[in-house]
Amino acid sequence: MTTITRFPPSPTGFMHIGNARTALFNYLFARANKGQFVVRIEDTDRARHSDEAVQVIFNALEWMKLDYDNEPVSQYANRQRHIDVANELLAAGKAYKCYCTPEELEQMREDAKKEGRPVAYDRRWRDRDESEAPEGIEPVIRIKAPLDGSAVVDDEVQGQVTVDNKQLDDFILLRSDGVPTYMLAVVVDDHDMGVTHVIRGDDHLNNTFRQNIIYDALEWNKPVYAHCPLIHGTDGSKFSKRHGSVSVEDYKKEGYLPEAFCNYLLRLGWGHKDEEIIPMDKAIELFSLKGINKAASKFDIKKLENLNAHYIKEADNHRLIDLISPFLKDRHNIIISELGLQRLDAGMDALKDRAKTLVQLADESKFYLVDTPLTFDEGAQKHLTPDSKALLQSMLDTFKDMDGFVHDEIEHKCRNIAQLEADGKLGKVMMPLRAALTGTDKSPSLFEAAEILGQEETIKRLNHAIAYIGSNSVQ
Ligand code: GLU
């Protein structure tokens, strides 16, 4: 039998990282078993429905490169089928119409609360004749849940979980306005889509017992279940905005690569020995439900950053240049010119070695792309002082006379200046040079950066920095 997994998000307007991890696990399990991964949009909440919210989901899947099989299904489009199944259950005597008024239901809830009973609805219409139905009340359709015994779920992650059937009520399948409930829709759709494995958050475990009642009533095969513990924050509570960014879109905006994000989400809840770096192709080879952690895992941004740094280092330079372009535009209003592109091409190996995020990579690439005169940030200003003016002047004079303006030669000259004028301390020379060439106090090797900028540009920038110090130190 072909393995079919599903991802059935409700379009809430953003894709929570917990949902993203669920999608990833379902995707990996399908691919690991040469099966299918299908998507169903649970769009039955029409009051809050919007196409943009649906698009957010597809954008996230696309970014994470979780390609799915078949056309995505709209749960709302299947509503007639859900209604038909509810009516089938009614006709088979496995469901019934309930004519309780809202007041009666409220009373039952209050009584149950007082007596500490988990089930409020007292099943008063289960065996009552419809001829007793009150006027003017549209009935709901309720399932006949088992009255005694217990229900068992053999969960691939949680193990065997048993619930006393007394805990489960005759829940609603079809509301009085004819709208099917989530409980019914999900079972019918999973069945019709041939879903063999349901991998989802353990906040749905309670629903599983109810959904199994519907499967049993319809005599349908149940899927295999794997309920994964939710993601927690560092304080051990459910991951929320308090702990960090919650939506996939945010991680994209913060400059994470999708492969780093997926690798991190994978490790956050699944493991293979103690391997940390597991790219997608390897994850497909290795993924199994057995590897899913039984305990909730804590989100750790540092680990995500480290993985991101790793994948940035491994990434193709041209891809990185494409990826930082929007950040350069948004953050610095920079469009990469032909010259800028040449410089980035030459400098990217060193730049990407240092970057934890694409934002950092864009920021640190900026100096290759801006025109002189540079503006100096606070860090740079600290090194552009009257004390460093003489050193910058020496560099300027030395660089002007150089024939081959290459990395090794530049280094050699800087070391000489450090020996002669800065007590041998290379840092004393390099920090003002860094400020002059990059406008910041952070950059990869300046010998290389100067070579890439070229002799003329380097001299221009040194001149400007010297003038800047001059204009700033006028008393
Ligand atoms: N639409 C549900 C959710 O987003 C899906 C539940 C399920 O996996 O059955 O939580």
Widest distance between CA atoms in the chain:
107
Residue 433 domain flag: yes
Determine the residue of 61, 157, 186 to mutate for testing ligand 1's pocket, defined as the one with the most ligand atoms within 8 A of the Cβ atom: 186
Best residue among 5, 204, 210 to mutate for probing ligand 1, ranked by most atoms within 8 Å of CB: 204
Q: Which residues of 316-328 are buried (b: 16+ CB within 10 A; e: fewer)?
A: eeeebbebbbebb
Residue 118 pLDDT: 83
Listed residue (155, 150, 207) closest to 181, CA to CA: 207
Residue 449 belongs to domain with CATH number: 1.10.10.350
Give catalytic status of residue 241 as yes or no. Answer: yes
CATH of the domain at 197: 3.40.50.620
Out of 65, 113, 238, 241, pick the active-site residue. 241
Which residues, judged by CB distance below 6 Å to any ligand atom, belong to the binding site of ligand 1? 8-10, 42, 186, 200, 204
- Residue 223 DSSP one-character state: P
Whether the predicted pLDDT of 427 surpasses 70 = yes
Q: Flag whether 56 is in a domain.
A: no
Ligand 1 atom having least distance to the Cα of 9 = 4
Q: What is the mean pLDDT of residues 186-212?
A: 98
Q: Look at ligand 1, atom 3, and give the residue with the nearest C-alpha.
A: 9
Q: Give the ligand 1 atom nearest the CA of 22.
A: 8
- Using an 8 Å Cβ cutoff, are 361 and 312 in contact? yes
Task: Pick the last residue of a domain from 228, 258, 279.
Answer: 228
Distance 286 CA to ligand 1 centre (A): 26
pLDDT at residue 473 in the model: 66
Would you say residue 262 lies in a domain? no
Q: Which structural domain, as residue segments, surrounds residue 453?
A: 378-470
What's the 428 CA to ligand 1 centre distance in angstroms?
59
| pLDDT band at 475; cut points 50, 70, 90 | very low
Number of helices followed by number of strands (H, E) in the chain: 19, 12
- Whether residue 27 lies inside any domain: the answer is no
Out of 192, 213, 228, a domain closes at 228
Rg (CA), the chain: 32
Instruction: Give Cβ neighbours of residue 403 (< 8 Å, ≥ 6 apart).
Output: none
pLDDT at 342 over 70: yes
The protein residue with its alpha carbon nearest to ligand 1, atom 10, reads: 9
Q: Which of 12, 200, 212, 215 to mutate to test the pocket of ligand 1 (most atoms within 8 A of CB)?
A: 200
Distance 201 CA to ligand 1 centre (A): 8
Whether 319 has a pLDDT exceeding 90, the answer reads yes
Q: Cα(227)–Cα(294) distance, rounded to whole angstroms?
A: 9
Non-local CB neighbours of 85 within 8 Å, separated by 6+ positions: 184, 188, 218
CA-CA-CA-CA torsion for 342, 344, 349, 350, nearest 10 degrees? Answer: 120
Q: How many CA atoms lie within 13 A of 186 on its CB side?
A: 21
Whether 338 is in a domain gets the answer no
467 CB contacts (<8 Å, ≥6 apart)?
Answer: none
Pick the atom of ligand 1 nearest to 186's CA: 9
Whole-number pLDDT of residue 119: 84
**Would you call 471 helix, strand, or coil by DSSP?**
helix
Domain closes at, from 228, 259, 281: 228
Is 59 among the domain residues? no
For the record, the structure tokens of 423 come out as 């007590």
Question: Taking the mean position of all CA atoms in its chain, how far away is CA 111?
Answer: 44
Sign of CA dihedral 317, 20, 44, 67: positive
Q: CB 353: neighbour CB atoms within 10 A?
A: 12
pLDDT over 70 at 263, yes or no:
yes
The token pair at 171 is 């829940």
Give the pLDDT score at 117: 87
For the segment 200-204, the average pLDDT, to the nearest whole number, is 97
Domain assignment present for residue 142? The answer is: yes
User: What number is the average pLDDT over the span 130-157?
Assistant: 96
- Among 15-19, 181-185, 234-238, 401-405, the minimum mean pLDDT is found in 234-238
Q: What is the pLDDT of residue 24?
A: 98
Taking 80 as the threshold, does the pLDDT of residue 474 lie above it? no
**What total of structural domains would you count in the chain?**
2
The chain-wide mean pLDDT, for the chain, equals 96
Task: Report CA(22)–ligand 1 centroid distance (Å).
Answer: 10
In whole angstroms, what separates CA 291 from the centre of its chain? 20
Tens of pLDDT, residue by residue over 161-195, are 999 999 999 999 999 999 999 999 999 999 999 99
Q: Are 218 and 85 within 8 A, CB to CB?
A: yes
The H or E element spanning position 380 is helix 378-381
Residue 344 domain-assigned? Answer: no
**Which atom of ligand 1 lies closest to the CA of 198?**
8
Per residue in 34-70, pLDDT tens?
Answer: 999 999 999 999 999 999 999 999 999 999 999 999 9
Q: Give the atom of ligand 1 at the shortest distance from the alpha carbon of 19.
A: 4
Q: Look at residue 344 in the predicted model and tell me its pLDDT.
A: 98
